[in-house]
Structures are given as C-alpha cells and as structure tokens.
Amino acid sequence: MGWHDIGYHGSQHLSTPNVDSLAADGIVLDRYYTQPLCTPSRGALLTGIHPIHSGTQHFVLFGASPWGLPLRYKLLPQYLKDRGYSTHAIGKWHLGFYRKEYIPTNRGFDSHTGFWNGF
C-alpha cells in the first residue's frame, strides 16, 4: 500500500473508511517509523528494538550469509507463547537460517509456512 492509497492521504481511487476512521480517532505515525527493507523491518517488529542495535540496519540478509537476527534477543512469538498463545508464521522469514537455532520454529513459532530466504 502506498502513501496516496489511503483516503486520509487523499486517495481518489481507493475507499479506506476503516483506516480513515482509525486515523481520525487515533494517532497517525507518519514520520519514518519503519525501515525501507524487509530484514531490518522484520527484525524490528519481532524484537521491538531499532535495527541498528541488532546489526540488521544495513541491508537484507542474503541466503548464504553466516549470520541472522542475534539469538540473544527474545522475539515477539516467544513472549506470546509465554502467555499461552499459539504462534504461526506465514511468508518469508529472511532473518537467518544458517544454523537450526535461527529458523522460525526455533525462535518461538509453532509452525512456519514459507521460505527461509527472501524469495
């Protein structure tokens, strides 16, 4: 979804009444609160920390990379499992898989359907 695809940003071709209502009644975060690439974005979402602190800030993680999102960080699905939730990942992982400790099912997800790499 692009910037101008939302009604409150002036979209003339898409109707987004629910998003528009949330924006009107809540807080709009529109000052670059995300990363422009998938590895840093996923890492930030799952750890709750800025990518510069996990070493994922520079670019995407390539398939042959001998590293991944550092194991010292507890991820969102691990917190959710502590609270009794089932956790499932769908889609690409793209946070490392060069050792079995880095794959999604060893980072808190009960299951994962998708690719470990970017494609």
What pLDDT digit, counting tens, does each position of 73-109 carry?
Answer: 999 999 999 999 999 999 999 999 999 999 999 999 9
The per-residue pLDDT for 80 is 97
- Residue 87 to residue 13: CA distance in whole angstroms: 36
Name the DSSP class of 119: -
Tell me if residue 38 is catalytic. Answer: yes
Q: Which residues contact 58 (CB under 8 A, 6 or more apart)?
A: 40
Q: What is the mean pLDDT of residues 54-82?
A: 91
Residue spans of the domains in the chain: they are 1-32, 38-113
* Residue 57 structure tokens: 């800030």
- Residue 17 to residue 94: CA distance in whole angstroms: 33
The per-residue pLDDT for 12 is 87
What pLDDT digit, counting tens, does each position of 1-44 carry?
Answer: 777 889 999 998 889 999 999 999 998 877 766 777 889 999 99
Tell me if residue 88 is catalytic. Answer: no
Catalytic residue among 9, 13, 38, 50: 38
Cβ atoms of residues 6 and 59 within 8 Å: no
The per-residue pLDDT for 32 is 67
The per-residue pLDDT for 20 is 93
The per-residue pLDDT for 111 is 98
Q: What is the mean pLDDT of residues 45-71?
A: 90
* Residue 41 structure tokens: 């974005």
Catalytic residue among 50, 53, 94, 112: 94
The angle formed by the CA atoms of residues 76, 85 and 103, to the nearest 5 degrees, is: 50
